[in-house]
Amino acid sequence: MSARCFISSVLFFLILLAYGCGERDDLAIPVDLMQPLALGPKVVFIDKSLYKAYLLDVTKKEIEPKVTAADLPPRPLLVQKRNQVDELLILCAGQQDTEGKEEKPAALAVLKSDGGVRKYEIERGFNSLIQSQDGRYVFLSVQGQTEDDPTATNTIVLPQNVMFIDLEKKPSDESARFSLLLGNSISNVPTGVSFSPEMSVAGKSRRLALIQSTDIVWLVDLSTPDSPPIFIQPNVGQQFSFEQALFDEKKKRLFLRGSNTDTINILDFAEDTDASSATDMLPLPVLRDPRLVAQGPSDMALYTVGDRTYLLVVSNGSNVATIIDTDSSTVATVALPVVANRILMFSSTAASESEAPSAQALLYNHGGQYNVVTFIDLANIDLEGTERLKAESVESVYFDTYFDQLSVVPNGNIVVLINTNGKQVSLLDLAERNVFPIKTPSQMKVIADSRVNKLWFEPRTNDQNNDRLVYLDLETFSSEDVRLDSQIEHALLVGTEAEAQIAIVHPSSIGYVTVLDAKSPSRKSAVSVEGFFISHVLDRGEP
Amino acid sequence: MNKPLFIIEIAAALLIFGCSTGDNSEAGDMTHANGTPVATGGYATGPTAGMEGQAGRKDDAPGEMMDGGVQTLPPEKEKLVDFEQPQAGKRFVFVVNPETDSVFIIDSKNFAVKTAHPPGDKPTFLKTVESPTDEADIAIVLNAPLVAKDEENNAAVIRAKADEEPTANALRVVKNSNVIAVSPDGRHAVVYYNSNYSSASDSSGRYQDVTVISLSKESDQSFNITVGFRPSAVYFTSDGTKGFVVTEDGVSILDFAEIERSGAGVAETVSLGYTLSERPSDVSITADGRYALARLQNDAAVYLVDLETRSIKALNLVLKEIINRDSDADDDDAGVDPRVSQGQITDLDLAASGDYAVAVLRDTSEVLKIPVPQAFDDPSQINATKIDGVVIGLSELAPDGRHALLYTTVVPDERVTVLDLEGETKPQTVRLQKSIETVAIAPDSKNALLIHTKQEGWREDPAIDENTRIDRSYGYSILRLADGFPKLQVTDTQLGPFVITPEYLFILFRDDALSIKEVQRVSLVSLQVDTIGLKRPPYSIGSISQFERVFIAQEQAGGLITLMDWKGDLREDISGFDRNPKIERGSEK
């Protein structure tokens, strides 16, 4: 290993001395770091106390032991990688006007990989952030309040208050964000949100958001933010506990699932009966007859066969899956060997060029203790009912050990089934339906890396011998490990597909990262950089 | 004439939870299934609750003292038939929701649910129709009495078919109707108001009107027909061409073909021959529609009315002789037989075939098999069987007519007698562990369900013995008719509605105070009992014949129905179908 140790112990103590004597803001050694994240070629550390983001570029051939610092709004609460875009979303609580401190508004900071930050001012009190799948929209809400919650200020926070931000618009654009007050009942407190894809409704292309609460949903047209939201209560007086919404943009339908009901509710925009369709306003949807499913529906997925759209539903309380023809009232049930509460949809490989890949589903149990998954060939399901269900459409695969989590290798045909309490994972080839059991030296977090077709196993920090980075090559199914010079705290996928790297963050107060080539990881080619936080301090001290 | 049988679907609603006992009133006859009211689906837990369907006409005063100071036994009490909602057709379960003016239709095959919105407000009473000519499941629904402002659109016929949206044809029927009776061929229904089935103090004011509904998938029609005063039951001929409405003025005859030709009109009403002071009971019609049979309360007389010739014949069953009605027809005391002290009829049942009737003379412990109509010309054809040493006041005929069960409800007699009506075996009196409250015989005539009475007192009292503890418990017995073998099952609470399938008997149990919510599955072969816990308090059970499933409706916001196969092995809970949606635009941002 060609490690580059930048700092000597003498210098380190000098810096510590300087830090102890000076103003904290001026001598910025990170003191309260959030979990680091990868942002393009960089590893980003965010200090909750100093309100700064530190970006370390790890993809250069000669890694400089130096971070770029970016100022953030006061009191960062949480950080997320923006979906589909190389940016980080950092929700900041802002700062109240108190003795010696200037009032600074709460804000959503968007950090780019070059260190640039744009800030969307928001109302105070939000502590939850959910983004749309494409990363365009952000939904902010208030979720609970703990004793150490930085938002616990003198500000009155209404939990019914929510805000949307369109990240494609500049912060200076007034229409970039809007807030809603969802009634005045505790049943209006939002519990989640779902974003639609682009849907053409009433002659206008729209993006919709469905805000969920215990027994009510609010449908918001993000494309016409001035129009009032639509209040939907599938059953007045009954708590539904909404959990999931799916959007069928072609048929203009919404499917709602709650944990407290054995029905799937269907909202239909196909018939634009509302007079408001003459305007840009989102018309009122029609609530179709609910579709009954097995007890305790826990997950659902849409798929198409030909021109028909179907909804597959699994349930916590029954070992059957339900298939609903969304174009009719036809419902079929599929018996499963055990309860399955999660669905993984995938497409089979076409047998020939003339054939299109067919919809397949893998049903499994998340959080339970089962050693079986079930494949359903959805294209061959006969919806006339279980009596006529083709046996070849359903196949169960059993494992030697139990698992309670499933992880998907993006763009791959492999899923990883994990026993979180044990030292074993199993790989399942979706195409061949073969199982590869793997024993790991300790309990590990599995990171799927589709760029190099590898699985990385991040050891838990309290494990012994956690200085070894274990990986599995999914092409050869060979397992290797690389011994590092220090314990592994976090493993981050950095770089691009062409220059794929994995950055290992080691526990250190002055910053310590090892970078490996993800295609051919080896101790020999690994590069370590240490002390980059102190480098930053020294830089700041220079004229 | 089709005397309604204990078919599976009807047995679904044989009893209501906690219903008390009724007198020997006409509507109290357990076999009047087709003319039975449909209840609102409420759950009754009190000892006298759920009696909306009880006929209001009281029979004799209980335990009256006769001349000479001899105390007579009170009148026998027969349980009441009642319907609970929801109800099942061949494939679909229909659930009404008066609050949302909806009827939910659940496909028992695949759990698909559809919603029908019959016209008018508060659909409340519902009865399914099995039509041999219509492949759709049909349900007739009536709007709530006293809610409908007029007779416009106060009823509907709903049709449900797989893969099609349900249809609801609006009809106008007699205001405040609360009874739906359906002909055996499923082509006609008779709808009327029966104050005995309503707890409301108001009434329609139309005590002599019924509506005949002509069911046709092309066009349903309704006709208002004037009948005798205060209709209380409806019978049909076995071919379904005629209906007979039992009223206080006699039997009103509904000729459906004539009604469809002529429209609204006045039904011909045939007097049963009794005088103003006489009170008929156990009125029934023979399967061919030719004769009406009735007994007089507190009397030994049975009348047979020829509905074609209007001739009336009467028998004194104590004396086994013909009564000459003409001789005292004008007397004020025509119905008072001076020889009444010699005995009186306590029950009269007409066999499903209509070939004979069975009468019980409790005072003399006699059971009479009366050929109809032959015995009314030749009383010697009456076959009398004396059951010594046992109090018998009531009879229950098996659907196949082979056996009758004889028992009493007025004394704590822990016995039941199995009578072979063909006389091949001697009457067999079976010792039970508890006295009987009511009896039902399975459709295959092989087993009977005996529901027992519960004596007052704390059953857990440590001072009492085992037998007393049993007496102080609820319970039922399954009795094998072939050999008279009984099996007792003691229960923690009273029996609720039950349904009989070919192999199993399903009985609901519910006691909110004791948190009892379960169904007991009784094998009719091994007589073994399994208890199946339910999620929520049950209130209704029924059978879906096409897919051999039992449904159990339970109280839960949004609705909850458990479907299980006839063996009870496979269970599916479905809920959330009963909803009251609200979609509206919120305030401006």
Q: Is residue B207 part of a domain?
A: yes
Q: Does B579 touch chain A (CB under 8 A)?
A: yes
DSSP A186: G
**Closest chain A residue to B165, measured at CA:** A329
Beta pairing class for B415-420 and A424-429: unpaired
CA gyration radius for chain A? 26
**Distance (Å, whole) CA A472 – CA A424:** 13
| Domain interval for residue B89 | 1-270
CB atoms within 10 A of CB B311: 11
The residue with tokens 């047998």 is A351
pLDDT at A150 over 70: no
Burial of A94 (0-12, 13-18, 19+ CB in 10 A): buried
CB distance A234–B581 less than 8 Å?
yes
Q: Does B576 touch chain A (CB under 8 A)?
A: yes
Q: Are B162 and B85 contained in the same domain?
A: yes
The residue with tokens 């006709």 is B223
Q: Are B212 and B303 contained in the same domain?
A: no
Distances (CA, A) of B393 to A265, B295, B523: 56, 14, 30
Q: Are B156 and B55 contained in the same domain?
A: yes
The residue with tokens 């009977």 is B448
pLDDT in tens, A404-444: 878 877 666 788 887 776 677 888 888 888 888 887 777 77
Burial of B453 (0-12, 13-18, 19+ CB in 10 A): middle
Least confident of A91-105, A207-221, B166-180, B284-298: A91-105
Q: Looking at beta carbons, which residues of chain A come within 8 Å of B563?
A: none
Query: Who among A235, A238, A330 is closest to B163 (CB)?
Result: A330
Q: Output the 3-class SS for B356-403.
A: EEEEEECCCCEEEEEECCHHHCCHHHCEEEECCCCCCCEEEECCCCCE
ipTM: 0.73
Measured torsion, CA atoms of residues B511, B512, B516, B520, in degrees rounded to the nearest 10: 50
Report angle CA B414, B417, B420 to the nearest 5 degrees: 170
Q: Is residue B362 part of a domain?
A: no
Listed residues B493, B521, B548: the one ending a domain: B493
**Distance (Å, whole) CA A125 – CA A135:** 22
How close B161 gets to chain A, by Cα (Å)?
11
Query: Who among B112, B572, B586 is closest to A218 (CB)?
Result: B586
Q: Looking at beta carbons, which residues of chain A come within 8 Å of B583?
A: 230-233, 284-285, 287
How close B162 gets to chain A, by Cα (Å)?
8
Distances (CA, A) of A209 to A139, A161, A192, A229, A265: 9, 15, 10, 10, 16
* Strand, helix or coil for residue B470: helix
**The tokens of B465 are what?**
């013995």
Peptide bond into B86 cis (omega under 30): yes
How close A309 gets to chain B, by Cα (Å)?
16
In order along its 589 residues, chain B shows pLDDT tens digits of: 333 322 222 222 333 333 333 333 333 232 333 333 333 222 222 222 222 222 222 333 333 333 333 445 666 665 443 333 467 888 888 888 777 778 888 887 776 777 888 887 788 888 999 888 888 999 998 887 655 455 566 899 999 988 788 899 989 898 888 889 999 999 999 999 887 776 554 456 778 999 999 999 888 999 999 999 989 999 999 999 999 999 989 999 999 999 999 988 999 999 888 777 777 888 999 989 999 999 988 888 999 999 999 999 999 999 989 987 665 544 444 444 444 446 789 999 999 999 999 999 998 999 999 999 999 999 999 999 999 888 999 999 999 999 999 999 988 889 999 999 998 899 999 999 999 999 999 888 999 999 999 999 888 888 899 999 999 999 999 999 999 999 999 999 999 989 888 889 999 999 988 889 999 999 999 999 999 999 888 888 888 877 888 889 888 767 788 888 887 666 777 776 776 677 787 765 5
Q: Output the 3-class SS for B98-159.
A: HHHCEEEEEECCCCEEEEECCCCCCEEEEEEECCCCCCCEEEEEEECCCCCCCCCCCEEEEE
> A228 near B589, Cβ under 8 Å?
yes
How close A226 gets to chain B, by Cα (Å)?
7
* pLDDT, position A408: 79
**Distance (Å, whole) CA B413 – CA B420:** 21
| Torsion B184-B186-B188-B193 (CA) sign | positive
**Distance (Å, whole) CA A384 – CA B162:** 11
> B577 near B554, Cβ under 8 Å?
no
Q: Phi and psi of B445, rounded to 5°?
A: 65, 15
**Distance (Å, whole) CA B555 – CA B552:** 10
Q: Are B300 and B243 contained in the same domain?
A: no
Listed residues B357, B374, B406: the one ending a domain: B357
> How many domains is chain B partitioned into structurally?
3
Mean pLDDT of A28-49: 87
**Distance (Å, whole) CA B326 – CA B148:** 47
**Distance (Å, whole) CA B213 – CA A123:** 65
Q: Is residue B556 part of a domain?
A: no
Exposure string for B176-190, b = 16+ CB within 10 A, e = fewer: bbbbbbbbbbbbbbb
**Distance (Å, whole) CA B36 – CA B34:** 6
Q: Is residue B102 part of a domain?
A: yes
**Distance (Å, whole) CA A300 – CA A15:** 56
**Distance (Å, whole) CA B16 – CA B496:** 6
Q: What are the residues whose beta carbons fall under 8 Å from the beta carbon of A540, sequence distance 6 or more?
A: A26, A27, A28
**Distance (Å, whole) CA A471 – CA A453:** 10
**Distance (Å, whole) CA B516 – CA B514:** 5
* pLDDT, position A258: 85
> B335 near B344, Cβ under 8 Å?
no
Residues 88-107 of B with CB under 8 A from A: 106-107
Residue type at position B284? S
**Distance (Å, whole) CA A141 – CA A123:** 10
Burial of A64 (0-12, 13-18, 19+ CB in 10 A): middle
Q: Are B169 and B36 contained in the same domain?
A: yes
Q: Is residue B37 part of a domain?
A: yes
Tell me which of A213, A214, A235, A334 to substitute to probe the interface with B (most B C-beta atoms closer than 10 Å): A235
Q: Does B113 touch chain A (CB under 8 A)?
A: yes
**Distance (Å, whole) CA B376 – CA B304:** 7
Q: Are B408 and B300 contained in the same domain?
A: no
CB distance A290–B572 less than 8 Å?
no
Q: Are B265 and B141 contained in the same domain?
A: yes
**Mean of pLDDT over chain A:** 82
> A360 near A429, Cβ under 8 Å?
no
Q: Does B572 touch chain A (CB under 8 A)?
A: yes
**Distance (Å, whole) CA A205 – CA A196:** 11
Q: Looking at beta carbons, which residues of chain A come within 8 Å of B588?
A: 228
Listed residues B474, B493, B512: the one ending a domain: B493
How close B576 gets to chain A, by Cα (Å)?
5
> A404 near A420, Cβ under 8 Å?
yes
Q: How far is CA B337 from the centre of its chain?
A: 31
Report angle CA A148, A150, A151 to the nearest 5 degrees: 120
Please report how the helices A532-541 and A9-21 are oriented relative to each other, as an axis angle in degrees rounded to 10: 60
Q: Are B173 and B298 contained in the same domain?
A: no
Q: What are the residues whose beta carbons fall under 8 Å from the beta carbon of A156, sequence distance 6 or more?
A: none
Q: Is residue B419 part of a domain?
A: yes
* Strand, helix or coil for residue B574: strand
Domain assignments of chain A as residue spans, ordered by start: 1-71+440-543, 333-436
Name the β-bridge partners of A120: A108
> A381 near A422, Cβ under 8 Å?
no
CB distance A293–B111 less than 8 Å?
yes
More confidently predicted of A477 and B145: A477
CB distance B114–A263 less than 8 Å?
no
Query: Who among B115, B163, B589 is closest to A228 (CB)?
Result: B589
**Distance (Å, whole) CA B99 – CA B92:** 21
pLDDT in tens, A346-383: 887 655 566 667 788 999 988 877 888 999 888 776 66
**Distance (Å, whole) CA A37 – CA A88:** 9
CB distance B557–A328 less than 8 Å?
no
Q: How far is CA B299 from the centre of its chain?
A: 24
Smallest Cα–Cα separation from B298: which of B463, B457, B64, B488? B64
* Strand, helix or coil for residue A303: strand
Q: Are B75 and B208 contained in the same domain?
A: yes
> A417 near A406, Cβ under 8 Å?
yes
H-run or E-run covering A15: helix A9-21
CB distance A262–B576 less than 8 Å?
yes
Q: Are B240 and B256 contained in the same domain?
A: yes
* pLDDT, position B212: 97
* Strand, helix or coil for residue A185: coil
* Strand, helix or coil for residue A332: strand
Q: Looking at beta carbons, which residues of chain A come within 8 Å of B582?
A: 231-233, 236
Q: Does B581 touch chain A (CB under 8 A)?
A: yes
Residues 156-175 of B with CB under 8 A from A: 163
* pLDDT, position B522: 94
Q: Looking at beta carbons, which residues of chain B come within 8 Å of A179?
A: 589
Q: Is residue B507 part of a domain?
A: no
Name the β-bridge partners of B189: B182, B213
Smallest Cα–Cα separation from A288: which of B281, B581, B440, B136? B581
Beta pairing class for B250-255 and B268-270: antiparallel
CB distance B582–A226 less than 8 Å?
no
**Distance (Å, whole) CA B128 – CA B142:** 12
